Structure 1
Amino acid sequence: MLAQNRIAFKEWGAVCAALGQGRQSVLVRKGGIHEGQQGFRVDHREFWLFSTRFHQGAEQLQPEFSDLLQAPIAIEPASEKIMLALYAVVEKVAEIKDPSVLSRLDSLQVLNQETIQQRFEYKNPGLFVLLVRAYQLSQPFEVESETRYAGCRSWVELSQEYSTSNLTPILTDEQFAQQQQALEQIIT
């Protein structure tokens, strides 16, 4: 793991909450408007999770996960600050081109089938699934929001590097290995 990092990955607050609670270990990504012709790429294997609320709503989640919208990381902050509490390390990247695989992802993530299907079909059919090992800071911190962080993009470069010391894994090694095995069974 890097000792410091300034790269952040923008993701819905509810998904960040799910990662932070150990209810999810994958990120399902199509890409943002600003990703260009090439679409989404895994440019970084480690990153801070940058919680967003734009386009997010209970109607995009599996019903049993709507409570995630009330988690502190998923709620719009009162100030113009961004809370950094979670860090992720990408352990595997899979590109899904077969739509029959989509329903089997339900057990690994919190988005509902309609949302996953819409992402899959947007522009060119397909999705990226990133298996990530999530870590939490013992004491979350806030960074100032900047206009350059705005917009539909996956990656942002923070104005400074932040230490990754004091991180603890959300899932035990055994729990994470089970998630990894479950993803392998789905995508093979």
Structure 2
Amino acid sequence: MQPVALKEWAVSVKALQEGKQIIVMRKGGIIEETRDFRLLSHSFYLMPAYEHQRKELLKPLYYDDMDETLVNWSPDMGEMTLSSYAEVSDDIEIQDQETLDRLRDHHIWNDTFAEERLKWKRKNPLHLLILKVYKLDKPISIPMKPAYTGCKSWVRLEDGIPERNMSPVMPESKFAEERDRIRRAIIDL
């Protein structure tokens, strides 16, 4: 099976790799084939995306993290580095602001970011993906292809991806504890 990658803000990928959060919020990219988000695979590489990151949509504590992601980036990069892999534990659909607000302590984004994600394509739910993230023991450099650019959630990795050993970002017990905290935040009123 051809490997896939989920495109996500580079600062979010950094937070996932460092165990600062275990969630991403998806509605679908502007040029999404299906016009909304669909979970293409339950396991995938995380592909850092840089173009649409906006510092003002992060909590101030994470401004420096975003700056760090931009140090070696340029819009005409010939290669992309993949350094993490994820497995979806849960795909939870969120329809309302009240539920979204209860997740505020579980991610790096500010309230404006979360609200904008929920309101965009209003008739579609916001997908909250709870991810078990793995750090690749050795990052993979791949050539940047036109098919990897643009505002879309998923890319099919065209070149063969070498097998890599990987280690979980957090122990299973810590991951389970954080996943349960997120679930309780959504369910408890």
TM-score by length of 1: 0.91
Deviations 1:128-171 (A, max 9, x none): 10000000011112100001111110000011342454100001
| Residue in structure 2 matched with residue 168 of structure 1 by the alignment | 167
1:153 alignment partner in structure 2 = 152
Instruction: Tell me the distance in 2 between the aligned counterparts of 1:51 and 1:43.
Output: 18
Query: Residues 102 and 113 of structure 1 are in contact (CA less than 8 Å); yes or no, is this contact kept in structure 2?
Result: no
Identical positions, percent: 29
Unpaired runs of 5+ residues, structure 2, are none
Match of 2:48 in 1: 51
1:85–1:151: structure 2 CA closer, same or farther, 3 Å change rule? same
CA shift, 1:7, in A, is: 0.4
Q: Kindly indicate whether the alpha-carbon contact (under 8 Å) linking 2:137 and 2:164 is maintained by their aligned counterparts in 1.
A: no
Query: 1:16-31 to 2 correspondence within 5 Å?
Result: 16-31=13-28
Aligned partner letter, 2:47: F
Offset, 1:71 = 3.4
Shift of 1:59: 0.5
101 and 74 in structure 1: CA distance in 2 versus 1, 3 angstrom threshold = farther
Contact persistence 2:5–2:155 (CA under 8 A):
yes
Between the two proteins, the alignment pairs up a number of residues equal to 185
Q: Aligned letter for 2:11?
A: A
What does residue range 7-18 of structure 1 map to in structure 2 within 5 Å? 7-18=4-15
**Is 1:91 matched with 2:83?**
no
Deviations 1:37-66 (A, max 9, x none): 651011110000010112102101011111
Bigger proportion of residues as strand: 1
Aligned to 2:159, the other structure's residue is in SS state: strand
Q: Give unmatched runs, 5+ long, in structure 1.
A: none
Residue in 2 aligned with 1:141? Answer: 140
